[in-house]
Amino acid sequence: MPFDMSLTPAQHDLVARTHDFAANVVRPVAAEYDREQEFPWPVLEEAAVRGFYSPLFYRDLIGDPTGLSLPLFMEELFWGCAGIGLATVMPALALSSIGQAATPEQLLRWAPECFGEPGDLKLAALCISEPEGGSDVRNLRTTARRDGDDWIIDGHKMWIGNGGIANVHVVNAVVDPELGHKGQALFIVPGGTPGLELVRKLDKLGCRASHTAELKFNGCRIPAENLLGTEEKLEERLARAKEGTRGKSATLGTFEQTRPMVAAQAIGVARAALEFATDYANEREAFGGPIIRNQGISFPLADLATRIDSARLLTWRAAWMAANGVEFRNAEGSMSKLAASEVAVRATEQAIQTCGGWGYISDHPVEKWYRDAKLYTIFEGTSEIQRLVIGQALGLAAGEPPLHVDSPVDGSALNRIFGPGTPARTRAGEMALAAKDHIPEPAMKVAMRFLTPKR
Ligand SMILES: Cc1cc2nc3c(=O)[nH]c(=O)nc-3n(C[C@H](O)[C@H](O)[C@H](O)COP(=O)(O)OP(=O)(O)OC[C@H]3O[C@@H](n4cnc5c(N)ncnc54)[C@H](O)[C@@H]3O)c2cc1C
């Protein structure tokens, strides 16, 4: 599917429906949930009623070959509130890793358990990070060992969205410590499993409507079928890793797909801040006129508009690549996450500056957005880790131009011979021009119809 920025009617309506939900359901209660640090159950119920909290909805968005539906939805929802947005989409992050690792039967079994249905909502959590290993996923210490027909999970997880209150915990654990991150596998630990302990709910700077927790797995016994993927596949993967054959880590695979998704969330926060700051600067008067007339105010906003749009383009490209299975050879997923998260922090900070003292108190939402935005340079890979991935891609490209255009090729054979920019086309144009005085006017008109650029 070629990359195309025009929206389908369904995408256009998705943006409008999500914007309506964000503006009229999410925003009116965002400050309260932030202040109280409460889980926004009624908002999730309304999301479910409107069709935004369902595995089938996310299956459609993830499976959309244009790649745009998922970032469009994320941007609009997080424009409303990042904390409530995270509470709403957390099961989709878990579902994304289930989708990558599970058999079709496992997917059918667990996807509904991640969301439930209106009136009986369920939650899911993706449990990767640990107190000693956030960025360094090779250093994860939670273990899974076979015991008869069961697996036993032992370990300590940190920063887990929906941790301990979820119905489904997707847990990354080491099955072969010698193989590092290639010796890990994903397991389902249902909520309420004996030994699953919610140590504490974390008291956060921002995104406070979402529940983030420290968890312990104290000898959690789960049935063999809760290993995501088949045991044969796991054995094959471990054997390949032992031989040193290049293989993909289940955890790192998930990150590749989710980075553009998270980037789009950050763009939603950044756009909210830019919009608010621009409105404020047009209305607020100082020294006899609206403050936007000062270049000291308008230039930083102009720079932000440019950076937000660039980050959005990077994000859409990465989302299109993820949807079409195009490899991130130049770390395009990391580029989108880095650009979007950094501009979210910059935009929210500038929004506070634009509002002056009014930006520093909670009468306006910008101080909250500033606290929310900061998370984006930390989770789903910190900004430093994104730079590390981009730097590694530059290293791998040593000797080749690293940002050389290398998109998949799509089109007819005729296009290769006579498409725009081909020598044949240029020669034909030159010949037509040279002969123009000798060619009858009707024939010239026909030739020009083919050669004139489309308006
Ligand atoms: C609110 C919140 C929600 C989260 N939700 C989840 C979740 O649902 N599930 C989950 O599994 N995890 C979650 N996380 C965890 C998150 O992904 C980690 O916090 C993140 O990966 C960073 O890990 P760390 O906190 O251990 O920092 P560290 O890895 O200790 O890093 C500390 C600092 O060192 C830098 N650093 C580390 N290594 C390098 C290097 N090689 N080069 C340069 N700099 C380096 C980092 O960039 C950072 O600045 C969440 C975190 C937060 C704060």
Residues 303, 236: one domain? no
Confirm whether 236 is domain-assigned: yes
- State the Cα–Cα distance between residues 89 and 24, nearest whole angstrom: 18
Which of 242, 274, 306 terminates a domain? The answer is 242
* 389 CA → ligand 1 middle, Å: 14
In this structure, the answer to whether residues 379 and 418 fall within a common structural domain is no
Q: Which of 17-21, 190-194, 212-216, 426-430 shows the lowest per-residue confidence on average (mean pLDDT)?
A: 426-430
Residue 442 has pLDDT above 90, yes or no: no
Number of domains present in the structure of the chain: 3
* Whether residue 338 sits in one domain with residue 264: yes
Question: Domain holding 197: CATH number?
Answer: 2.40.110.10
Q: Is residue 276 in some structural domain?
A: yes
| Higher pLDDT, residue 342 or 330 | 342
Q: What's the whole-number average pLDDT of the chain?
A: 93
Domain boundary among the residues 192, 220, 242 is at 242
Q: Are residues 418 and 371 in the same domain?
A: no
Residue 447 and residue 432 share a domain: yes
- Looking at the fold, whether 275 and 237 belong to one and the same domain comes out as no
| Domain extent at residue 307 | 248-410
Ligand 1 pocket member 129 (CB < 6 A): yes
Is residue 399 predicted with pLDDT exceeding 90? no
What atom of ligand 1 comes closest to residue 161's alpha carbon?
A: 8
Same domain flag for 173 and 268: no
Which of 192, 227, 242 is the last residue before a domain boundary? Answer: 242
Examine residue 47 and state whether it is found in any structural domain, yes or no: no
Residue 185 lies in a domain: yes
> For residue 91, is it within any domain?
no
Percent of the chain whose predicted confidence (pLDDT) is above 90: 79
* Tens-digit pLDDT profile for residues 156-196: 999 999 999 999 999 999 999 888 778 999 999 999 999 99
Same domain? 265 vs 169: no
Q: Whose Cα sits closest to atom 3 in ligand 1?
A: 159
Examine residue 188 and state whether it is found in any structural domain, yes or no. Answer: yes
For the segment 197-235, what is each residue's pLDDT rounded down to a tens digit? 999 999 999 999 999 999 999 999 999 999 999 999 999
Q: Ligand 1 test: best mutation among 217, 338, 382, most atoms within 8 Å of CB?
A: 382
DSSP string, 241-278: HHHT-----HHHHHHHHHHHHHHHHHHHHHHHHHHHHH
Asked if residue 18 belongs to a domain, the reply is no
329 and 396 within one domain: yes
Report pLDDT for 247.
55
In a domain, 26, yes or no: no
Distance between Cα 374 and ligand 1 center (Å): 12
* Segment 346-398, tens digit of pLDDT: 999 999 999 999 999 999 999 999 999 999 999 999 999 999 999 999 888 77
- Look up the CATH number of the domain holding residue 358: 1.20.140.10
Ligand 1 atom 27: residue of nearest CA: 134
Is the predicted pLDDT of residue 242 greater than 70, yes or no? yes
Are residues 399 and 265 located together in one domain of the fold?
A: yes
Q: Which atom of ligand 1 is nearest to the CA of 388?
A: 42
Q: Which residues are catalytic?
A: 380
Alpha helices in 324-406 (DSSP H): 332-355, 357-360, 366-374, 383-396
**Number of alpha helices (DSSP H) and beta strands (DSSP E) in the chain:** 17, 11
Residues 304 and 228 in one domain: no
Pull the structure tokens for residue 149. 């027909």
Please state the atom number of ligand 1 nearest to the C-alpha of residue 157. 11
Percent of the chain predicted with pLDDT > 70 = 96
Is residue 255 domain-shared with residue 403, that is, in the same domain? yes
**What's the pLDDT band for 245 if we cut at 50, 70, 90?**
low
Angle, CA 42 vertex, CA 207 and CA 99 arms, to 5°: 65
pLDDT at 1: 85
